[in-house]
A and B are shown apart, each in its own frame.
Chain A
Amino acid sequence: MITLNKLTTGYAKNGVSKEISTELQLEIKKGSLVGILGRNGIGKSTLIKTLAGFQKPLSGNVQVLGKTVHEMTPQQRAKCLSIVLTERKFNGDLIGKELIQLGRQPHTNWRGKQTPEDREIVSQIIKQLNIEQLADQMLKTMSDGEVQKILLARALAQQTPLIFLDEPSSHLDLFNKSLLFQEIKQIVRKEGKTVVFSSHYLNTTIQICDQIILLLNNQWEYGSPDELIEKGVFENMFPKETVLFDPKQKQFNICI
């Protein structure tokens, strides 16, 4: 599904490049839920944006379904992958349903005309995510969790085999976070979609993911949660006097 070939992400400014993740070499299989884990500022968002073709890699490349992502046209990419970003720069006067319908844009004609099928797909997704009461509300009146659901619905409406989520749970409380991840897990299981998300919630990610890309300083690890636990990579993630990893419970604990 996705192949990373010696992918180095980062920024190049005025001829000086700042490398963030170096020479990632891995393959993500169809129908898997993959979490990108790492500390704040380690480059999770940069990696997601590079995978989704928003940002050019410093070297190496990303292949999605056999094509190099940053060489695709925006239209080709829009039919192949959808994304939920952390930024909230949209017009707050938009109605929930209108925003979700915008997910159909890549499939409509030049005028953006919605066919009855487009409308059917949108109402199906609204029903599936249980957000009927949000459909007629303006975005500026919604809570963070509600907006997140609308944005996920929009990504689903785009009907792409691949979905990227950048920090999908960052503003949510435990209940809404759990609901969101249940929903994501369902989408992966039932519809066979591939979902890649970034998060700094270590315990949740270890619990729900099929595979984890762990970003460390100038280093990376890739594997299923159990493989990574066996390798002992989580133990060295943080200074032992601050955060300790318990391999039996599969979770991080704060040292008090």
Chain B
Amino acid sequence: MTELSKYKGFFSFLIGMLFLCLVFNLSLGSVNIPLWEAIKITLGYPTTKPTFEYILLDYRIPKAITAMLTGGSLGVCGLVMQTYFKNPLAGPYVLGISSGASLGVALLLMGSSWLSSWFVFSEVGLRWSIMIAATLGSFLVFCLILIATARLNNSTSLLILGLMFGSLTAAIVNILMFFGSKEALQKYVFWSFGSLGNINTSELKILSFILLIGLSIAVYSIKNLNSLLLGENYARSLGVSLQKNRYLLILSSSILAGATTAFVGPIGFIGLAAPHLIRLLISSTRDHKIVLPAVFLGGALLLLICDSIAQIPGSAYVLPINGITSLIGAPLIILLILRQKG
């Protein structure tokens, strides 16, 4: 609807901020790497300190890329859900996909005392087992939602259904936690904290590939998302096939939310906060051609900032990222909404 060129300045601002935060983020951690060294190593210049190079290339850069990719993907997922459900409170978790992932992980870690013959895993294989369990869990909920979608023809019922799936899986997780062993409980709680730094380069490649598929579907749906701003009936009168479009949007957000949760654990509020932030920054258009890429950049920026805070500058501790995103995200939304009303 709107010309992209009008928003060049805004996009330059977002990309500039993202670059600044990236450099800042790379210099943070338990080992103090000066900003200038960080920039040099990132750009591939030779360095006098091989330890710095090792820390940056093998840990901090993959972690920063993971943060930007998952943050952006969660933001896009939130935007798609908010437009589809015409509900500003919708986010990546409304369909219950992530709860499905949690259920998978909980079953693996805490149900394994009952099903010990099913899951025999070593400490080394544990991370992959968790990823597979999370993927299977989110896929299960995804299938249930697809079956429900075929029977329902309105988005509000689907929204309620997703929330119910979420509550149901949360209840099962709770019961599993009650019976789980101390060690299993600890592992589960650590997983639920979320972690961006646990991912290595080859895993990052797989994650990027999956997210790219989810994002491509979202980009392909931009035209239909714009039509949906008028409501489902008008969208249909503009030539949108509602059923096909619904499957595409659910598929896209399931991939985005499911893959993110499987690889880095649950990360709250980014998917909710990023679209709100961008919509307030650019109030002159609702065109998804502008808003969707902006939300991707905004989500990437938000999670990168949260990750920088989680490092606690100058200390050896890393706080749970899921706690930080909620700690930053919730007040941010409160602030934005209060300012909007005023």
Contact = CB atoms under 8 A, between A and B. Distances in A.
Q: Is chain B a partner of chain A in the same complex?
A: yes
Interface of A: 52, 54, 73-75, 77-79, 81-83, 85, 87, 89-91, 93-95, 98-99, 101-103, 105-106, 108, 110-112, 114, 158
A158 B229 contact: no
A158 B234 CA distance: 12
Nearest to B229: A91
Given A105-B226, A158-B238, A112 B1 contact: yes
A44 to B, nearest CB: 16
Contacts of B279: 93
Interface stretch (B124-132, B280-288, B318-326): B280-288
Q: Which 6 A-B pairs have the closest CB atoms?
A: A89-B231, A78-B239, A112-B223, A75-B239, A106-B239, A105-B238
Given A95-B285, A111-B222, A114-B1, A85 B233 contact: yes
Interface residues of B, number: 28
B2 A98 contact: yes
Contacts of A79: 239
Contacts of A111: 222-223, 289
A110 B220 contact: yes
A15 to B, nearest CB: 17
B7 to A, nearest CB: 14
Given A85-B234, A98-B2, A101-B1, A112 B289 contact: yes
A81 B237 CA distance: 8
A143 B324 CA distance: 43
Nearest to A85: B233
12 contacts: A52-B237, A54-B233, A54-B237, A73-B241, A90-B230, A93-B279, A93-B286, A94-B229, A101-B1, A105-B223, A112-B223, A158-B238
B236 interface: yes
Contacts of B2: 98
Nearest to B3: A114
Given A87-B231, A105-B227, 19 more contacts: A54-B237, A73-B239, A77-B237, A79-B239, A82-B237, A93-B279, A94-B229, A94-B286, A98-B2, A101-B1, A102-B238, A105-B239, A111-B222, A111-B223, A112-B1, A112-B222, A112-B223, A112-B226, A112-B289
